[in-house]
Structures are given as structure tokens and as C-alpha cells.
């Protein structure tokens, strides 16, 4: 898995280790999931789609450790994927995440987020960059420490750093590494229902060959609870982005005798809006979430993606044993680069039922319809997937 992926775990252990002597609340939920899925278009191909039946086995565990001054959460999971007709793309996905918080004193607090993920599916890349690419293994390593200081009784300042490195097996895609540092101010109002926030973030993404993208984001907003069952989040601001890429240009200085192609640096700066809006409402048997996000993300095409995402989810409990969910999302993305002129959109809707056969065993049939449009070349691709999933989990809970 790589020693760097577990550097975060070692740091967390150093920070939180002394707290294991205090009163603690432990919970561990090991699980195993078996899934059979038919997919009509494995790669969202525009021409000659390939269908297959996919068998998936996913053992894993989630854990939570809490004391009066610290919290440690984690997820460990493996997913084996076997394709009935296309065994050459069989893969074992890995997902390890560890997050922690530690209160040093009434004013000071530490936090750490870490993840090591290896996957070969399309949905993860879509969520990360707004793009659908060929099915290829992708490795992602992330470490993000932070420190919080309460300036006053209400005003808190958090300084955080994040490092993320993404690598692809497919040589057509370019690996990249992102570093970002940020300062966030949180101020809860006296009504205890509204939290105001202000943020400044600096990010740099580097590609092989000295290509890079630098972003300054300034944004603010807040969270508000209308009631115990209804809350909303509204954040907005700007991204100021500077790009520096090696590109090819035509040299016509000796026209009509010669026209040559030479390498040149492409430098440009753009200012674009940033939004993150969401709301969640809960009733007795029903919950609903909706949101909109507009942001910029690095991508394997060695350029920045402008991504607009609209999403919604509904969960309903018919009985104590039977529940259903409906998820829908729409992406539209474009490349901010003179090298690429990609504009894509993607829509999907996915209903699923969940039936608890026993306290520990659940049966879940589901369906997904997806539509991918290449807006640059005016072509479309659809996918339909249907699955049946069995999940067995056995939670443990311990207090001392």
C-alpha cells in the first residue's frame, strides 16, 4: 500500500496515543458485501459500447473512537471486481481513510485527514474532476493536517494544509500533485443557529514537465439551522487562477518559405466564481438533500476543469425493514486551457431499495441510468446498470 499512505496514521497515534488512558467510547463495524451487476456500457463509450456482468466482493470495516478531548475515525476496505467477459480489467480496489481530532487545551485543537485510495471505476474520477475517462487504475494519496485556535469565545481560526498526489496507469493521462494551504474563520452567532465563515485558500497543482496551475480562492458564507430538522449551507466567492503550460505554436516568421512548430510557454490568468450551496430536510420517514457546487479541479488532461454539479437525494422508510433511496446528479465541465477544448456534461439517476432480512443482513436491488454528452464533438453515450447486493455487518460497541 505504500508507507506514505500510513504516515497520517503514525502522526495520529502520536497525537492521540495518550488519550487511550481516558474514558473512551469505541465502535467497530466490520462488514462484507457481495454484488452482482450488469452494465451496458463499461466505459461510457460513444461508439461500440462494451457490456458485461461484474461480480464484486467487498470486505471492510469502519471504526470510531471518542474521548472527551479526542476523536478518531477510520475506514478500511478492499473491493475485488471480476468481469465475466473482460477479465483483463479485473482489479482489487483499496480504500483506507483515517481522520482525527484532538483538543490540546480550551483554545487549541489539532486535526488530521488522510486517505489512500486505489480504484478503477469511472465514478470516482467523475466526482474528483467532473470528467469521465477510460477505466484505468488510479492511485490517490492525501494527507491534510490542521490546527485551530479560538481567538475569542466565539471566533475560531483554523490553518490547514493538504497534499494530494494522483497517479494513473494509462500513459495517456498525466499524473499530478496538489498542495494547498488555507485559513478559515468561524463565528457562530448568539442565536446558536447561524455559523458565519470566511476562507482564504492557496493551491498549486504541478504536472511533469514544469506545467502548473496556481489558484487563490477567497470566499465566505455560512450555515443556518432553520429547525432541528432543516439546515442550509451557502458559500460563495472567487477563484483567481494562473496557468503556466508548455505548448506548441506555429512559427510563421519565415512564411511562405518555412512554417515551423516550436515549443512555447502558455501563461494566462482567469477569474471565475465559486459557489457551494446545499440544504437538508428531515421528516419522520423521509429525508431530502439538494445542492449546487461550482468549482475548479485539476484533471488528468493536464489542465484545469471548471465543474458545475447539481445533485439531489431522497431517502424514505416504508417500514422498519424496508427503505428506498433516489439519487440524481448533473455535471457540466469544461477545460480551462488553450491545449484542450473539452466540454462535457453527465446526468445520472439511481433508485435503490434496501430490505433488512435480519438485523445484520440486508438485500439491496438497484438501477442506474447515465447519459454522457460530448458537447464539443456533438455525440452522446448512455449506460444502464442493474444490480443485486447483499451486505452483512456485525457492529461492536465498547465503553470504558
What is residue 341's predicted lDDT score, i.e. its pLDDT?
66
- β-strands 25-39, 396-399 pairing: antiparallel
> Which pLDDT tens digit goes with each residue over 144-155?
999 999 999 999
Which domain CATH number covers 251? 2.40.160
What is residue 320's predicted lDDT score, i.e. its pLDDT?
94
What is residue 22's predicted lDDT score, i.e. its pLDDT?
56
- Low-confidence residues in the chain, pLDDT < 50: 1-16, 18, 20-21, 248-262
Q: What is the domain range of residue 217? A: 3-399
Alpha-carbon distance 5 to 351, whole Å? 35
Q: Based on the structure, what is the number of domains in the chain?
A: 1
Nearest to 246 by CA among 267, 264, 223: 264
What are the respective helix, strand and coil percentages of the chain, to the nearest 5? 10, 70, 25
Alpha-carbon distance 225 to 195, whole Å? 9
Give me the DSSP letters along 161-216: EEEEEEEESSTTS--EEEEEEEEEEEEE-TTSSEEEEEEEEEEEEE-TTS-EEEEE
- Residue 336 corresponds to which cell in the numbers above? 480551462
CB 148 within 8 A of CB 44: no
> Which pLDDT tens digit goes with each residue over 65-91?
999 889 999 999 999 999 999 999 899
- Residue 368 corresponds to which cell in the numbers above? 442506474
What pTM, to 2 d.p., does this model score? 0.83
Amino acid at each position: 500500500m505504500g508507507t506514505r499512505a500510513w504516515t497520517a496514521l503514525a502522526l495520529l497515534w502520536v497525537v492521540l496515543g495518550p488519550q487511550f488512558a481516558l474514558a473512551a467510547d469505541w465502535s467497530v463495524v466490520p462488514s462484507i458485501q457481495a454484488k452482482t451487476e450488469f452494465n451496458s456500457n463499461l466505459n461510457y463509450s460513444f461508439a461500440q459500447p462494451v457490456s458485461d456482468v461484474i461480480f464484486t466482493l467487498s470486505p471492510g470495516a469502519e471504526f470510531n473512537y471518542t474521548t472527551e478531548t479526542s476523536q478518531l475515525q477510520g475506514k478500511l476496505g478492499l473491493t475485488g471486481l471480476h468481469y465475466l467477459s473482460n477479465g483483463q480489467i479485473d482489479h482489487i480496489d483499496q480504500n483506507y481513510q483515517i481522520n482525527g481530532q484532538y483538543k490540546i487545551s480550551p483554545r487549541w485543537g489539532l486535526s488530521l485527514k488522510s486517505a489512500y485510495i486505489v480504484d478503477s471505476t469511472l465514478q470516482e474520477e467523475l466526482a474528483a474532476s467532473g470528467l469521465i475517462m477510460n477505466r484505468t487504475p488510479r492511485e490517490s494519496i492525501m494527507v491534510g493536517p490542521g490546527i485551530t485556535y479560538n481567538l475569542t469565545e466565539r471566533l475560531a481560526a483554523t490553518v490547514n494544509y493538504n497534499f494530494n498526489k494522483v497517479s494513473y496507469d494509462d500513459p495517456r493521462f498525466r499524473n499530478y500533485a496538489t498542495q494547498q494551504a488555507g485559513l478559515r474563520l468561524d463565528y457562530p452567532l448568539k442565536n446558536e443557529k447561524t455559523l458565519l465563515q470566511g476562507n482564504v485558500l492557496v493551491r498549486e497543482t504541478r504536472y511533469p514537465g514544469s506545467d502548473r496551475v496556481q489558484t487563490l480562492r477567497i470566499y465566505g458564507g455560512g450555515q443556518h439551522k432553520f429547525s432541528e430538522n432543516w439546515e442550509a449551507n451557502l458559500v460563495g466567492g472567487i477563484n483567481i487562477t494562473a496557468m503556466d503550460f508548455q505548448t506548441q505554436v506555429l512559427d510563421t516568421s519565415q512564411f511562405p518559405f518555412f512554417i515551423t512548430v516550436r515549443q512555447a510557454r502558455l501563461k494566462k490568468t482567469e477569474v471565475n466564481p465559486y459557489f457551494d450551496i446545499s440544504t437538508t430536510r428531515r421528516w419522520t420517514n423521509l429525508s431530502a438533500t439538494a445542492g449546487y457546487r461550482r468549482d475548479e479541479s485539476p484533471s488528468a488532461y493536464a489542465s484545469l476543469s471548471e465543474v458545475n454539479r447539481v445533485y439531489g437525494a431522497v431517502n424514505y422508510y416504508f417500514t422498519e425493514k424496508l427503505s428506498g433511496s433516489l439519487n440524481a446528479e448533473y455535471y457540466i465541465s469544461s477545460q480551462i486551457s488553450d491545449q484542450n477544448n473539452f466540454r462535457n456534461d453527465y446526468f445520472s439517476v439511481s433508485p435503490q431499495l434496501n430490505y433488512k432480512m435480519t438485523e445484520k443482513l440486508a438485500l439491496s436491488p438497484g438501477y442506474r441510468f447515465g447519459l454522457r454528452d460530448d458537447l464539443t464533438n456533438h455525440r452522446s453515450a448512455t449506460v444502464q446498470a442493474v444490480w443485486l447486493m447483499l451486505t452483512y455487518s456485525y457492529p461492536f460497541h465498547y465503553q470504558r
